């Protein structure tokens, strides 16, 4: 995993697209935005379109050359709405995300987006190690700039393996100790209740582990389950 994944917009002309790109990045846990010669920045329209992602805009760097934007980057991927004859063969956003995320931990990588009207120049694309094309309608393959950023940012989120687990609220999944506590409790309840014969355990605990590892319960859910086990055993013996 690289240190930073830079999103670089080359000469964006609409501040609204800058704001929408910042929002797309924020929703996918990216925060390093570099703008090469933006037509207008900072700008009220960019702020409005960024919605809750103002921090990405505030930290964004505006520079005057592509060299500055790419300084220190070990791997550069360029996006193109059209098939190009020059440069490397185009790969999909998924393959590109995997390649970028494979970079060593001490380097920066960059993902380049072009101008709304004309995209990236051939010269700019020649600076790229990878060329990415989002598969689209061959008769109309040009996405809005921020929409293209959204798709690549989403693929990067999946490739980083940091897709948030869907749990109640924002709770993190339980840690290893809490899970082990649950398994020990389940096993002793299964034995005490007569459901599990310790002389012939078969695969019960392995199957229960598989079930709860798949569910990734949070600590509160673990407490509910353990509270329920305690109450059931107490009722049985009480
Ligand atoms: N007419 C321009 C379109 C530019 S769209 C051209 O042909 O290049 C603005 C930017 O959005 C592009 O430079 C690219 O960064 C991104 N983009 C739009 N559609 C894309 C697609 N299908 N695949 C990859 N990037 C795309």
Looking at 16-20, 86-90, 106-110, which range is the least confident one? 86-90
Q: Which residues touch 46 (CB under 8 Å, ≥6 apart)?
A: 15, 16, 18, 19, 22, 40, 57
**Residue 142 near ligand 1, beta carbon < 6 Å:** yes
Looking at 79-93, 123-137, 190-204, which range is the least confident one? 79-93
**Residue 151 near ligand 1, beta carbon < 6 Å:** no
Rounded CA gap, 155 and 230, in Å?
44
Spell out the CATH class of 176-237: mainly alpha
With vertex at residue 74, the alpha carbon angle to CA 24 and CA 154, rounded to the nearest 5 degrees, is 20
**Residue 144 near ligand 1, beta carbon < 6 Å:** no
169 φ, ψ (degrees, to nearest 5): 65, -145
Give residue-wise pLDDT tens across range 151-200: 999 999 999 986 555 545 567 788 888 888 999 999 999 999 999 999 98
Nearest CA to ligand 1 atom 5: 116
Q: How far is the CA of 2 from the centre of ligand 1 (A)?
A: 25
Q: Kindly report, as residue ranges, where domains of CATH 3.40.1280.10 are found in the chain.
A: 4-162
Q: How far is the CA of 144 from the centre of ligand 1 (A)?
A: 7
- Give the pLDDT band of residue 88 (cuts 50, 70, 90): confident
Q: What share of the chain is helix, strand, coil (3-state, %, to 5)?
A: 45, 15, 40
Rounded CA gap, 154 and 157, in Å?
5
pLDDT at 72 over 70: yes
**Residue 137 near ligand 1, beta carbon < 6 Å:** no
**Residue 148 near ligand 1, beta carbon < 6 Å:** yes
Q: How far is CA 175 from CA 28, 136, 163, 183, 219, in A?
A: 24, 42, 17, 13, 8
- Tell me the DSSP string of 4-70: EEEEEEES---HHHHHHHHHHHHHTT--EEEEES-SS-S-HHHHHHHTT-HHHHHH-EEESSHHHHH
Examine residue 42 and say whether the peptide bond preceding it is cis (omega within 30 degrees of 0).
yes
* Substitution candidate for ligand 1 out of 18, 123, 148, 149 with most atoms within 8 A of CB: 148
Give residue-wise pLDDT tens across range 21-39: 999 999 999 999 999 999 9
**pLDDT at residue 196, rounded to an integer:** 92
**Residue 91 near ligand 1, beta carbon < 6 Å:** no
Q: How far is CA 183 from CA 92, 121, 131, 136, 218, in A?
A: 42, 59, 48, 48, 14
Q: Kindly report, as residue ranges, where domains of CATH 1.10.8.590 are found in the chain.
A: 176-237
Average confidence (pLDDT) over 96-105: 96
The number of the ligand 1 atom at minimal distance from the alpha carbon of 113 is 15
Q: How far is CA 125 from CA 50, 96, 132, 138, 185, in A?
A: 28, 15, 10, 21, 59
**Residue 150 near ligand 1, beta carbon < 6 Å:** no
Rounded CA gap, 233 and 121, in Å?
71
CB contact at 8 A, 36 and 65 = yes
Average confidence (pLDDT) over 80-105: 90
CATH code of domain 4-162? 3.40.1280.10
């Amino acid at each position: 995993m690289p240190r930073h994944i830079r999103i670089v917009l080359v000469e964006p002309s609409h501040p609204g697209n800058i704001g929408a790109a910042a929002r797309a990045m924020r929703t996918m846990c990216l925060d390093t935005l570099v703008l090469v010669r933006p037509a207008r920045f900072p700008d009220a329209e960019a702020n409005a379109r960024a919605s809750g992602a103002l921090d990405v805009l505030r930290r964004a760097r505006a520079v005057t050359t592509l060299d500055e934007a790419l300084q220190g980057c070990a791997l550069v991927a360029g996006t193109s709405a059209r098939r190009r004859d020059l440069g490397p063969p185009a790969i999909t956003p998924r393959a590109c995300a995997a390649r970028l995320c494979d970079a060593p931990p001490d380097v920066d990588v960059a993902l380049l987006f072009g101008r709304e009207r004309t995209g990236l120049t051939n010269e700019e694309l020649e600076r790229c190690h990878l060329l990415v094309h989002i598969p689209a309608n061959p008769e109309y393959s040009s996405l809005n700039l921020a929409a293209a950023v959204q798709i690549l940012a989403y693929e990067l989120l999946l490739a980083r393996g940091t897709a948030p687990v869907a749990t109640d609220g924002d709770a993190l999944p339980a840690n290893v100790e809490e899970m082990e506590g649950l398994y020990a409790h389940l096993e002793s309840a299964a034995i005490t209740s007569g459901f599990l014969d310790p002389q012939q355990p078969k695969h019960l605990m392995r199957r229960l582990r598989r079930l709860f590892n798949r569910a990734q319960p949070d600590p509160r859910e673990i407490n509910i389950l353990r509270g329920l086990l305690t109450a059931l055993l107490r009722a049985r013996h009480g």
